[in-house]
Chains A and B, each alone.
Chain A
Amino acid sequence: MIYLDYNATTPCDPRVVEAMLPFFSEFFANPSSLHRPGQEARRAIERARSTIASFLGAKEEEVIFTSGGTESSNLAIRGVAQALRKKGTHLVTSAIEHHAVLNVFRSLEKEGFSVTYLPVDANGIVHPEELKKALRPDTILVSIMHANNETGVLEPIADLARVAHEGGAIFHTDAVQTVGKIPIDVTVLGVDLLSASAHKFYGPKGVGFLYIRKGTPIAPQILGGHHERGKRAGTENVPGIIGMAKACEIAQEEMGEEARRVGALRDMLEQGLEERVPDIHIVSRNVPRLYNTSLVLVAYVEGESLLLNLDFEGICVSSGSACTSSSLEPSHVLLACGYPHELAHGSIRFSLGKWTKEEEIFRVVAVFPKIVEKLRAISPFSKGR
């Protein structure tokens, strides 16, 4: 199998699994228990918190454990909206956010908040001037993703956060695609809230964190015991948290080298495809984007049929085609960038990672042109017709 869907999820690093294992049966106690085993579990998760905090340039008490990126973003957005409702009811986000963010805003709209969805340029970049124009005296929160999961494009978060703060709003970023891939310092970014998910960077599924800058007003969304400083109830996912901290440790040490290696492979892939397949377009190729992501639009064919054919060859990718989404709508990200429906329909995302090998890229570059050719022979839109 050639796995090129690392933006969807990653396999756990064996070192992460190893770090987690003792916390299933041996150190299983509840960190809220007062006995010694409980306190031992407590110490382990507090050590993990400290590792993650220093990985982010944050204070320990600013890191809250959650069940993953979706919960983190729900807590951040809904939590601030609720806490500041009396101050204002205007919220700002972008048209290209992940559904874990977009759908929270849509539900807040039904609850009486008004939301501005900022447009993006043809490369998928949110411009700080657009944010400036959108801010109002009653704007309480701005949420813009750090990197887009489909295109890999990096948003100018530091500038956007500054503009939001000048307007008196709180700033959240969904950093699910960047944490563990590129260095992040929350003070350099200047954000108030930052969401992350462990399984996107070789940690386990079902665990994530939310960075909450000290003093940021936030209402808890999961109610119960007094866990996580009252911001998120529920017994902590101890093995998950330990695994996530280990994944951060590994990322800290290895991400520089990974970026060089994987970036070179990604460029090789794009060059190879471009040379061998006519009428393809590589999205946002010339703007800052994640080194592991390549979004390719293939004219005249549909993404699901490309994906299935690649799967027959043992190559795992994803697609933004309408036919692959349960809503039967093409990627909202590509539409927001101004791509026509038909082109968005033929989108294939390659996302590389730690275990991607050069031979695998050679194989994809060899197989892909044949698949495209076969599907174009079936298509009524092929060139010259």
Chain B
Amino acid sequence: MYSEKVLEHFRNPRNVGRIEDADGIGKVGNPICGDVMVMYLKIRDNRIEDAKFETFGCGAAIATSSMATELVKGKTIEEALQITNRAVAEALDGLPPHKMHCSVLAEEAIRAAIEDYRARGRKGE
């Protein structure tokens, strides 16, 4: 049911783990099935230098987490905010329809991590 690419990212997920001195952390839950994804971002000069994730979820959730971290790396914050769940799914050669909701987790985690980064900035000012 999963594409080769999904299975490949699931088998060998990229960027697993946490960034201890992360500049932004986004923790989101999937209200549908109860899964959780945490994304850690290292940001310098408005650009995402590094990204890592931890996910408790299905094969699709792990694969989209992995792909999302790959996609955001090197992007500016504005660019990263343009990434949609569809884009993540497409980068994985698609997801089965009943697994599309898992990719929403990835999009939301990126947004939440950037939101956290911005909130910290506001506090620092």
Contacts and interface: CB of A to CB of B under 8 A. Distances in A.
Contact of B56 (A300, A312, A328): A300
Given A377-B16, A380-B38, A380-B54, A328 B33 contact: yes
A380 B62 CA distance: 12
B5 to A, nearest CB: 14
B34 A330 contact: yes
Nearest to A322: B33
A323 B33 contact: yes
B57 interface: yes
Interface residues of B, number: 27
Q: Secondary structure of the B side of the interface? A: mixed
A341 interface: yes
Interface string B9-22: 01101001100000
Contacts of B37: 380
A304 B57 CA distance: 8
Given A305-B10, A308-B10, A380 B58 contact: no
Contacts of B36: 380-381
Interface string A290-304: 000000000011101
Nearest to B57: A302
B56 A381 contact: yes
A345 interface: yes
A73 interface: no
Contact of A321 (B7, B58, B60): B58
Interface in A351-382: 377-381
27 contacts: A302-B35, A302-B58, A304-B58, A304-B59, A305-B58, A305-B59, A308-B59, A312-B11, A321-B58, A322-B32, A322-B33, A323-B59, A323-B60, A326-B98, A328-B32, A328-B33, A328-B101, A329-B33, A342-B34, A345-B33, A377-B16, A377-B17, A378-B13, A378-B54, A378-B55, A379-B54, A381-B56
